Structures are given as C-alpha cells and as structure tokens.
Amino acid sequence: MAEGSTSDSIAVRHRELRDDIGTFIAGVEQRVPKGYSPAPGIPSVEAMMKEIENSNMYAAYIESSQYSHGTMAASAVYRRGLGAELQLGEFVTALDWIMPLRVCWLSFREMSRLVLDRLSNGAVELDWRDFSLSIDAAFRDLALAV
C-alpha cells in the first residue's frame, strides 16, 4: 500500500488514541489515594452474582441474554419448523412470558433488599420468604397450566 494511504491514517489515529488513553489512565492512577490498587480485571457476571450472594440469578441472566443477543432460542418465538416446513409468525404463548416476568420479580425483590439495607444501615430487614414462596408457586402454576 502507498504511504499516506487511508489505512496508514487509521493506524496512526489508533496509536494516538492508545497513547491518549494510556495518558488518561496514568493520570487517574496518580490521583488514587494510597492503599488502593486496580482491580485485577473485569469480573464475570457469574462472579458478580456470587459476590452479592445471588448466584441463583445467574441462570435467569443466561436465559434472558439469549433475547438480547438474538440467538436461536430467541428467534424460535418467530418461527416453527425448518426448510420446506418453515412457518414464520409470532408464536408467543403465556409460557414465554414467565421467565421475563419472574426476572422482573426477582430483580425487584433483590433491589428492594439492597436499597432498604443501605438506606437503613441494616436496621430494616424484609422477610420475603412467605411472599416469595407464593409468587414462585404462582409462576409454577402458570407454567403447568400452559
């Protein structure tokens, strides 16, 4: 490729961005109080769920991420069959709503615990056990009824 080509310009710009980011990081690190160190890396979602003692939510995260990433599991609600048998449409049933609704419920429950704990410095503790069991039973009954 000839000198001064678009490819060379892009490479130069990428090096400049790398250097700018490196300068920014070094500046931030200089301002961090003594005794702190950078995190070893970005934790996985599974590790974060374990850290907040909520690893049971990881399965819901995995399932719900199928829809945001457009996987076969997600596209299956819009098609049935393969090849000459392929039917396109919207095949959403009540069963398809259980998981997203349950994730909403669990997220609300867990966030409520976290917010109340932080706002009250641990003085307020909700006992969701009985209510949670009845909600879980309602989701189970709905799934079995479909």
Given a cut of 90, whether residue 17 has pLDDT beyond it is yes
Task: Quote the pLDDT of residue 117.
Answer: 86
The token pair that represents 93 in the structure block: 């049933």
User: Are the CB atoms for 130 and 95 separated by under 8 Å?
Assistant: no
Q: Quick check: 15 pLDDT over 90?
A: yes
Instruction: List pLDDT tens digits, range 75-133.
Output: 887 888 888 888 888 888 888 888 888 888 888 888 888 888 889 887 887 788 888 89
On the question of pLDDT at 1 being above 90, the answer is no
How many angstroms separate the CA atoms of 23 and 17, rounded?
10
Q: Map residue 94 onto helix, strand or coil.
A: helix
Place of tokens 């209510």: 131
Mean pLDDT of 44-70: 85
Who contacts 76 (Cβ-Cβ below 8 Å, separation ≥6)?
Answer: 91
Average pLDDT over residues 18-22: 96
- The secondary structure of residue 40, as a DSSP letter, is S
